[in-house]
C-alpha cells in the first residue's frame, strides 16, 4: 500500500502546545515537536511519500 500526504496537510495537523512546542498525531501515535518541519521526517518514518 502506498501512503501519500501533502506537506501542507501535515502542517495543518500540527497543534501548538502553548509552550513553544507542538503536538502532532499520525496513525494514532502522538509526537511532541520542537519545530513544525519535523512532521516530514515522522511521516516518512511511517512510510509516507510527501508531496510538496
pLDDT for 1 equals 83
Domain that holds residue 28: 3-51
**Residue 47 region, left (φ>0) first, then alpha (ψ -120 to 50), else beta?**
left
pLDDT for 25 equals 97
What pTM did the predictor assign?
0.87
Q: How many domains does the chain have?
A: 1
Q: How far apart are CA 26 and CA 20, in angstroms?
A: 20
Query: What are the backbone dihedrals phi and psi of residue 10, each rounded to the nearest 5 degrees, phi first?
Result: -65, -45
pLDDT for 41 equals 96
One digit per residue, pLDDT tens: the chain, 52 residues? Answer: 899 999 999 999 999 999 999 999 999 999 999 999 999 999 999 999 999 9
Amino acid at each position: 500500500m502506498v501512503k501519500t500526504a501533502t506537506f501542507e496537510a501535515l502542517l495543518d495537523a500540527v497543534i501548538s502546545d502553548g509552550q513553544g512546542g507542538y503536538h502532532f498525531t499520525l496513525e494514532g501515535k502522538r509526537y511532541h515537536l520542537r519545530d513544525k518541519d519535523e512532521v516530514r521526517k515522522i511521516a516518512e518514518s511511517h512510510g509516507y511519500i510527501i508531496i510538496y
